[in-house]
A and B are shown apart, each in its own frame.
Chain A
Amino acid sequence: MSIKEIEDEIVSEFEIFGEDWEGKYEHLIDLGKSLPMIDEKNRTEENIIKGCQSRVWLNSVLKDGKVIYTADSDAIITKGMVALMIRVLSKQAPTEIAKAELGFINKIGLKEHLSPTRANGLVSMINRMKLDAIKLSQKN
C-alpha cells in the first residue's frame, strides 16, 4: 500500500471514535502496547531522538530499497504515535518518505502533538524519520 492509502486507512479506523477522545487515546495506548520491541542493541544513545520530554529510540535500515523502522518510547502515548508513524512510513521508499505530508495526524484529531512545544517529540520524530530515509538512500 502507498503511504497515502495507509493514512486513509488509519483515518477511517479513528473515525468511529468521533468526539470520544477517551476512546481515541485508549486505542492509541493499545497501539503503543502492541508495538514490537526494538532490538536491545539498537536502544543506543545515538538512536535517541532529542527534543522530546519522553525518550524515543528510532532505528532505521534500508532493505531492498525500502526503509525499515523500529522504535520505542518510555511514554506510552508517544509510543502509540510512534506505532502509527511506523505503520505509515516503514517499508516505503526513501523518496516517498521524504515527500510524505502526513495529513492524517490532523485528520484523526491528534494535531496537538504537532505543536512546537518542547514537551512533545512528534515533529522531531517525523524529521528524524525523513532524515534517516534520505541518509540511507544516499549511502547506497
Chain B
Amino acid sequence: MIDSKHIREQFPILKKWINNKPLVYFDNGATTQKPQVVIDSIVKYYSEQNANIHRGVHTLSREATELFERSRQTVASFISAKSSEIIFTAGTTDGINLIANGSNFPKGSEIIVSQMEHHSNILPWQLWCERNEGKLKVIPINKDGSLQIEKLESLITTKTVLIAMAHVSNTLGVINPVKEIIQRAKAINSKILVLIDGAQSVPHMSVDVKDMNCDFFVFSGHKMYAPTGSGVLFVKENLFNTLKQSKTGGGTIKSVSFEKTEYVDGPLRFEAGTPNIEAVVGLAQACEFMNSLGVKNISAHEHLLLEHAQKELSTISEVEVYANHSNKAAVISFNVKGQHPFDVGTLLDKYGIAVRTGHHCTQPLMSYYGIQGTVRASFAIYNTKEEIDIFIEALKKTIKLLN
C-alpha cells in the first residue's frame, strides 16, 4: 500500500501554496514533480562527481563514466532491456526524430500512426513522407478512445515499413493493446518495425520491451520524476547497424582522419557531444525511486485515484468526460458543457489546482471529437483522494461562476 503522507513529504514543491491555496498538482502528464532523492542526486553529482565522461584517464572522469554507465544499466533493467540497447536522448521527441532521421526505409514507403498520436509522433513521420514520397496512414479510433485494430490488416501493404504509436494516449489516458498490435503486424510481415511512444506509460505502469517485442521504444525522464532533458530510446540490438546517425561529433568514434572516420558500435554512436550527465544520473535515481515503491503499487494507487475522480465527475451533470474506456492510465480529459476549457482551467488555477487545458498537442484527435480542446487532469503517485475532492469542489464553484 502507498503511504501518501510519507510520499508527499519527499516532494518539496508540494508544500507550495498557489493563489493562497495549497497546490493541487494534476498536470503530471505534462511533467511530474521531483522527489528529494532525485534533486539530491543532481546536487551530489555537481558537488562530488562531476567530470566529462568516456574521455579522461583521471579518477574523477573514470568514476563519472562508471556512474553514467551504471545509470544506463538501471534504466535498461527498468524496461527489461539490455544496457547496450539504450540510447540516452533529450526526451521522447528527440528519440522519435532520431529514428525518423536515421532510418533507411526505401522511398515511397508507408508509415502507420494512430488517430490519437501526440504531434511528436506525427510530425517527424509526416516530414519523412514529404521528403521521401512516402505515405502516412492512420489507424482510426472509436468514441470510447479505443483503436479500431480490426482495421490494421487492411492498412498494411507491402510498402508498410513502420507502425509508430502511443502506448498510452497523453490526452485520453487510454492504454493501447500494443503487444497484440505488434503480434498482428509482424504476423503479416515480420519486417515491419514498430515504434512505441511510452512517454505516458512508463511513469504509470510496468513496461517490458522484450515481452512487448517492439523494435523501438521511447520515453521522457521528466514525466517520471526525473529531470527535464533526460530521455531514452530503446533500439532492439540487431537494428543498431541499420540506423544512420542524425548527428555526429565527440564521443562517437574509434578513429578520425580527414579521409575516413571509424565509428564505435552501439549506443555511443548516437550520443554525440557531452551528454546531459546530471539528467541521466537523475533519471536512474528516479527509476530507483519508482522501484522502491513498486511500479505495481504505483499503478494500483493511481488507478484508485482515477476511479474516484471518474465517479465524482460523473455526478456533475455539466461535465462530459472523453473516452470512457475501461483500460486507462491515470488521465482524464473532460469539458464543462458550453464552457471553454481555457475558462475552466483559469478558474481552477485560482483555486490552486493545476490542470492542463487546450489541444494537448493532439489536434487530429480534437478534430475527431469535434472540439477545440479539453481540460486534462493527470495523476501521479503523490496525489490523493482528498485532492480529488478539493478539485471536485473547485470545479463545482467554477461551473457556478461561469454560469
Contact = CB atoms under 8 A, between A and B. Distances in A.
A61 to B, nearest CB: 27
B401 A53 contact: no
B358 interface: yes
A50 to B, nearest CB: 14
A22 interface: yes
B347 A25 contact: yes
A77 interface: yes
Nearest to B340: A75
Contacts of A78: 340, 342-343
Q: Is the interface of B mostly helix, strand, loop or mixed?
A: helix
Contacts of A22: 350, 397, 401
A29 interface: yes
Given A21-B350, A25-B347, A53-B373, A74 B401 contact: no
B340 A74 contact: yes
B339 A76 contact: yes
Interface in A71-86: 74-78
Interface string B319-359: 00000000000000000000111110111001000000110
B19 interface: yes
Contacts of A55: 372
Contact of B357 (A25, A53, A74): A53
B340 A76 contact: yes
A54 B342 contact: yes
A26 interface: yes
Contacts of B340: 54, 74-76, 78
A75 B347 CA distance: 12
A53 B19 CA distance: 22
A120 B342 contact: yes
Identify the interface centre among A29, A54, A74, A119: most chain B CB within 10 Å of its CB.
A54
Given A29-B402, A53-B373, A119-B358, A77 B346 contact: yes
A74 B372 contact: yes
B299 to A, nearest CB: 31
A54 B371 CA distance: 12
A120 B343 CA distance: 10
Nearest to B339: A76
B342 A75 contact: yes
A68 B343 CA distance: 27
Contacts of A26: 401
A127 B253 CA distance: 50
Interface in B354-403: 357-358, 372-373, 397, 401-402
A29 to B, nearest CB: 7
Contacts of B341: 53
A29 B338 CA distance: 14
Given A29-B401, A119-B358, A77 B372 contact: no
A25 B358 contact: no
Contacts of B343: 54, 75-78
Nearest to A73: B340
Contacts of B358: 53, 119
Nearest to A74: B340
B19 A21 contact: yes
Nearest to B347: A25
Given A53-B342, A119-B342, A120-B342, A76 B402 contact: yes
Contacts of B372: 54-55, 74
A96 B320 CA distance: 46
B343 to A, nearest CB: 5
A74 B372 CA distance: 10
Interface in A22-61: 22, 25-26, 29, 53-55
Contacts of B401: 22, 25-26, 29
Interface string B14-27: 00000100000000
A26 to B, nearest CB: 6
Identify the interface centre among A26, A55, A76: most chain B CB within 10 Å of its CB.
A76
Interface of B: 19, 339-343, 345-347, 350, 357-358, 372-373, 397, 401-402
25 contacts: A22-B350, A22-B397, A25-B401, A26-B401, A29-B401, A29-B402, A53-B342, A53-B373, A54-B340, A54-B372, A74-B340, A75-B340, A75-B342, A76-B339, A76-B340, A76-B402, A77-B342, A77-B343, A77-B347, A78-B340, A78-B342, A78-B343, A119-B345, A119-B358, A120-B346
Given A53-B358, A54-B340, 4 more contacts: A54-B342, A75-B342, A76-B402, A78-B340
Pairs A-B, 3 closest by C-beta atoms? A75-B340, A75-B342, A54-B342
